[in-house]
Amino acid sequence: MSDKLLVSAGDVIDVQLTSETVVIEGADRRHVEPGHITNRMRLFVKLTDGAEQKYDFEDTELGVRETQRVVVVRGQGKGKRDRGPYNIVLFNVSSAERGEFESGLRAYLGHKPFFGPLWKALVISLGVAVVTWFVATFVVNPGSNGGISGVWLAVMFGFLSYPAWWWLARLWDRITERMRYRAARKRFLNEMQARANTYAPQASAPAPVAQPETPPEANPA
């Protein structure tokens, strides 16, 4: 079940910038490790429907000032997964720039396969066991009628090969998920960019320049 997509557009009426430094102290409170500085930006936006809304963003390098038009793209979980809206992309359509929030993009576009590496490895190991039993019973030792030796070899090969199949299935999921995410990310950002462009303020036509009047020519006497 994918999260809901929330898209809002409006004009910025106020910008507030703050920063916070997180300091990590040692057990004896004498050793202080370098902290991480978190920059926060709060925008007060007058939406296109006339309502006012505030939005908070962390660690974005996108510049925004008052009167500029912005488009805020956020996601929100459904049901028990709802922990409030999270930022995905912030568009400044007035300056044709955007800021992306990778954690929000991964939360919205992330995908977990229906069968994880454990289940994939289990199915493959069972297949290995069946093939081993078939070969041991009907090829290597035909006429044994599925003796204990064939069953033992099947269980042994299936059990011993399971860790290797699990590692390969895990590696496969990582590679395919990375490829899928990159393609989905590019497609999603292009779609959101096209949607944000529809909210761009229309440039007003220049006022016509008045032409000076030409005095009428005097009639010759």
| 72 and 136, same domain (yes or no) | no
Residue 63, in any domain of the structure = yes
Residue 212, in any domain of the structure = no
Please check whether residue 108 is in contact with residue 203, taking contact to mean a CB–CB distance below 8 angstroms.
Answer: no
Q: Which pLDDT score is estimated for 153? A: 78
| 66 and 123, same domain (yes or no) | no
Give the model confidence (pLDDT) of 63-113 as tens digits: 999 999 999 999 998 876 677 899 999 999 999 999 999 999 998 998 777
Q: Considering its fold, how many domains does the chain have in total?
A: 2
Give which of 43, 45, 40 is closest to 61, Cα–Cα.
40
Name 7's bridge partners: 73
Residue 201, in any domain of the structure = no
Determine the Cα–Cα distance for residues 141 and 219; give it in Å rounded to an integer: 127
| 49 and 65, same domain (yes or no) | yes
Residue 205, in any domain of the structure = no
Q: Which pLDDT score is estimated for 136? A: 75
* Ranges of the chain whose pLDDT falls below 70: 1, 22-36, 80-81, 139-147, 203-221
Q: For residue 86, what are the domain limits?
A: 4-22+33-110
pLDDT, averaged across the chain:
82
- CB-side neighbour CA atoms (13 Å) of 29: 0
CATH number of the domain enclosing 52? 2.40.50
Give which of 152, 158, 163 is closest to 125, Cα–Cα.
158
Domain's final residue, options 90, 110, 130: 110
Residue 204, in any domain of the structure = no
Residue 131, in any domain of the structure = yes
Q: How many helices (H) and strands (E) does the chain have?
A: 3, 6
Residue 217, in any domain of the structure = no
